[in-house]
Amino acid sequence: MQAYESPYGGYVYAYPHKTAYRPLDPRPALRDVWAGEHAAALYVHIPFCEMRCGFCNLFTRTGAPQDLVGAYLDAVERQARAVRDALDERSATGPRFTTAAFGGGTPTYLDARELTRLFDLTERAMGVDLGAVPLSVETSPATATRDRLAVLAERGVSRVSIGVQSFVDAEARAAVRPQKRAEVDAALDAIRAAGIPTLNIDLIYGIDGQTPDSWRFSLDTALMWNPEEVYLYPLYVRPLTGLGKRGRAWDDQRMELYRQGRDHLLGSGYEQVSMRMFRLPGSGATTDYCCQTDGMVGLGCGARSYTSTLHYSFEYAVGVRHVRGIIDDYVRRDDFDVAHVGFALNLEERKRRHLIQSLLQADGLARDLYRARFGVDVLEDFALDRFGDRLTVDDQRLRLTADGLANSDAIGPALFSAEVRRLMDGYAAC
């Protein structure tokens, strides 16, 4: 009998995962790390939330007092200056970002005045006009207030992404996400009233007590605001939370709700971009991974930065005490001219990253782009027969089938290298 393999091995939003990062010794100077690299994306991480949801393992803390938020913004400014200096060494024009994002946590945990400061300091220190590039900001129902949204609209934010998870209060409670439907509705109305071009709504399936009917209700309610994008997340639970694992029956529930949600959105005119992402055709950014060689500058603790050969960040944790300790350390830091914790990508890991990031998109992997980048056909580098009829191959592309996309969270982790797997397994969660 074949062993049961869960379709929910893990969400691969980046390769390698942060739990494969280790302290760098010696710590390389950012000037060397960024030599000859192109920083195309800017990301600022705000590790604050008004609540800690039971399922969430993002790097964030609740209840941050205002003076800590102020000290955090001071530190982001110091870091931004150090990074800009490192980038400037090699380029007369400074960084020319083509996209930017404020994520978290919940960036709108900052009040309107603090948000203004975040825009000002980022623009000043990085030498970037945020109004001139596509800029995405994450928000939550309780913090998407009209005064904050007015700041976002005025500063040219092009996309606001809000976590709703469920329009049924009892389901939000079951996911340990204390929120009220009235607050969710008010936030969505306010985002639409602010006139920000792209609205994304996050929904979660697989919550205890959720049924096909209640899932349909959440999907239909979300569609009432005509969001340009919808993300459907299968629920994952963190070990040691009260949510608990339920094995195969839960996997079956998630798969059934996934198919229902996907079909409902496709039937409502959305196109599927990846297992989680759906969007209205003609809206939003392109997803073609032709720019896989481009780098990302991450500011704030919890943010990752990527060059083609090094991914780096600060220490990472999920537990309350450790997250608080890391933020407290960050606000006192001055050593922003070196990379602290990271993972160096050799040629094989760069190829794997390109394969994983491309294959998990509905458009799949363009063979000519892979060949142009690595000088070899992708099928000479990787044996992919094990994915059987979940993968289609033609002269131009490798593409997951509908069933393949549904199993993205098993296919992605199956492509990790032995070394990344070893490091992730050896990561001591704290």
Ligand X SMILES: C[S@@+](CC[C@H](N)C(=O)[O-])C[C@H]1O[C@@H](n2cnc3c(N)ncnc32)[C@H](O)[C@@H]1O
Site for ligand X in 8-47 (CB under 6 A): none
E-strand ranges in 15-133 read 22-23, 39-46, 48-49, 61-62, 99-104
Site for ligand X in 181-220 (CB under 6 A): 202, 204
Among ligand X, ligand SF4, none, what binds residue 52 when CB lies within 5 to 8 Å by partner kind?
ligand SF4
Long-range contacts of 61-65 (CB under 8 A, 24+ apart): 61/320, 61/323, 61/324, 61/327, 64/109, 64/327
Integer Cα distance of 260 and 85 in angstroms: 50
| CA 147 to each of CA 107, 116, 191, 295: distance values in angstroms, whole numbers, following the listed order | 14, 11, 11, 33
Query: Containing H/E element for 356?
Result: helix 347-359
For residue 160, count other CB atoms closer than 10 A to its CB: 27
> Is there binding between residue 140 and ligand SF4 (CB under 6 A)?
yes
> Is there binding between residue 60 and ligand SF4 (CB under 6 A)?
yes
Choice from 79, 99, 106, 166 touching ligand SF4 (CB under 6 A):
106
The answer to whether the CB of 391 falls within 8 A of the CB of 400 is yes
Choice from 104, 107, 261, 413 touching ligand SF4 (CB under 6 A):
104
163 vs 295, which CB is nearer to ligand SF4?
A: 163
Based on C-alpha coordinates, what's the Rg of the chain? 21
> Is there binding between residue 235 and ligand X (CB under 6 A)?
yes
Q: Whole-number minimum distance, CB 37 to ligand SF4, in Å?
A: 29
Beta bridge partners of residue 55, listed in sequence order: none
Choice from 95, 134, 163, 412 touching ligand SF4 (CB under 6 A):
163
105 vs 206, which CB is nearer to ligand SF4?
A: 105
Among ligand X, ligand SF4, none, what binds residue 236 when CB lies within 5 to 8 Å by partner kind?
ligand X
> Is there binding between residue 391 and ligand X (CB under 6 A)?
no
Q: Which tokens belong to 95?
A: 């960084």
Choice from 31, 38, 52, 78 touching ligand SF4 (CB under 6 A):
52
Q: Which residue number has the CB closest to ligand X?
A: 163
210 vs 307, which CB is nearer to ligand X?
A: 210
Planar angle of CA 291, 294, 295, nearest 5 degrees: 145
> Is there binding between residue 56 and ligand SF4 (CB under 6 A)?
yes
> Is there binding between residue 55 and ligand X (CB under 6 A)?
yes
Q: Which tokens belong to 33?
A: 């790390």
Number of residues that bind ligand SF4 (CB under 6 A): 12
Three-state DSSP state, 189: helix
Contact footprint for ligand SF4 (CB under 6 A): 49, 51-53, 56, 58, 60, 104-106, 140, 163
Contact footprint for ligand X (CB under 6 A): 49, 55-56, 58, 103-104, 106, 138, 140, 162-163, 165, 202, 204, 233, 235-236
